[in-house]
Amino acid sequence: MFLATAPGKVILVGEHAVVYGRPAIAAPVWQTVATATIAPAAPGSGCHIIAPDVGLALRLADAGDDEPLAVVTRLALARLGITRAPDWQITLHSDIPIASGMGSGAALSTALVRAVMLGAGHAAEPAEVSDLVYESERFYHGTPSGIDNTVVAYGMPIWFVKGQPPEPFVPAHPISLAIADSGIRSPTKETVGDVRRAWSEDPARYEDIFDEIGRTVLAARHALEAGDSLELGRVMDANQTLLERLDVSSPVLATLIGAARKAGALGAKLSGGGRGGNMIALVDDRVMRPVCDALAAAGARRVIVTQIGGTQD
């Protein structure tokens, strides 16, 4: 039996603009994970993929090219030079909220690729896993930047620019984020598509906003490298204002963001595609509990705290 895991993720700053070549900063969230387990199946039965959490059960040989988990399995086997699928039962589990901006699709595919590689006796490097998972991201995001598969495959904070090698980095001091699930599913593919349509109608306006977001991302990196949490919080708030100009926020997210700020968060913004999904709040030990309580009171379905730059990264 072979087992592999992959974390969820948050985008700290830079979502949407990252699709258009601007930088973004993302980090894994190990409090939520996807797991893939491979067990031998009856000889001649072929390879089966089962994902009870989403009601999926398929035989690889019968799956179409529109099924991302089947696609990424075939790609991994082809990378290994395996032309006939082994007799395996692959079971997938995940506690990452679906369509919430936390990389649930990338995490499932990453765990799956790693398990397939392990099952074939191959220890895959993060870059290799990321490349394979990117192909499945097209199903979830339409025109993905590649940031989700990269941060999930590397499992550490990264500075990301589309088309360039990722830069893993460690902040000068660990920071803590409260992540609140709005309970509203919002597929990233839809919001990315809406922004692309708006950009195509008024490219100059949107390019200006993307440039401003890029500058906030650079300011966030400087704040992280200097260990300046107050500046980082200010930058996160500025990024949220720009995301509102892209029309990817929502009243529910605004309520959660406002509750976090009122309770003492240093900064707060949506994370991911927007319109629903998750928001993040920068907290320290002094305000962590008040902020988490305020988010729960404001309607968050779930609140977790993660640390960026600590031992878990």
SS3 299: coil
CB atoms within 10 A of CB 39: 12
Q: Does residue 207 fall inside a structural domain? A: yes
Give residue-wise pLDDT tens across range 33-81: 999 999 999 999 999 999 998 888 999 999 988 888 999 999 999 999 9
Residues 148 and 207 in one domain: no
Q: Are 67 and 92 in contact (CB under 8 A)?
A: no
Q: Does residue 184 fall inside a structural domain? A: yes
Task: Quote the tokens at residue 90.
Answer: 């692959």
Residues 101 and 232 in one domain: no
Give residue-wise pLDDT tens across range 78-103: 999 998 999 999 999 999 987 778 98
**pLDDT at residue 310 is higher than 90:** no
Q: Does residue 313 fall inside a structural domain? A: no
Residues 181 and 69 in one domain: no
**pLDDT at residue 221 is higher than 60:** yes
Structural domain ending residue among the three candidates 136, 167, 198: 167
Residue 255 C-alpha from the chain's centroid: 22
Residues 222 and 144 in one domain: no
DSSP string computed for 139-180 = HHHSS--SHHHHHHHHTS-EEE-TTS--EE---SS-EEEEEE
SS3 121: coil
Q: Are 246 and 209 in contact (CB under 8 A)?
A: yes
What is the per-residue pLDDT for 54? 80
Give residue-wise pLDDT tens across range 278-303: 999 999 999 999 999 999 999 999 99
Residues 39 and 157 in one domain: yes
Structural domain ending residue among the three candidates 167, 196, 212: 167
CA distances from 139 to 63, 65, 105, 242, 276 (A): 15, 10, 9, 27, 19
Give residue-wise pLDDT tens across range 250-265: 999 999 999 999 999 9
SS3 88: strand
- Sort residue 44 into left (φ over 0), alpha (ψ -120 to 50) or beta: left
Q: What angle do CA 78, 81, 83 make, to 5 degrees?
A: 70
Structural domain ending residue among the three candidates 127, 144, 167: 167
**pLDDT at residue 181 is higher than 80:** yes
Residues 12 and 158 in one domain: yes
What is the per-residue pLDDT for 170? 87
Tokens 């109608």 belong to: 201
Q: Does residue 81 fall inside a structural domain? A: yes
* CA dihedral sign of residues 285, 287, 293, 298: negative
How many structural domains comprise the chain? 2
Domain of residue 120: give its range.
Answer: 2-167
Residues 238 and 254 in one domain: yes
CATH number for 54: 3.30.230.10
Residue 181 phi, psi dihedral angles, 5° rounding: -90, 120
CATH number for 256: 3.30.70.890
Give residue-wise pLDDT tens across range 123-166: 889 999 999 998 877 766 566 788 999 999 999 999 999 999 99
What is the per-residue pLDDT for 103? 87
**C-alpha span between 296 and 58 (Å, rounded):** 38
Query: Exposed, middle or buried, 90 (CB in 10 Å: 0-12/13-18/19+)?
Result: buried
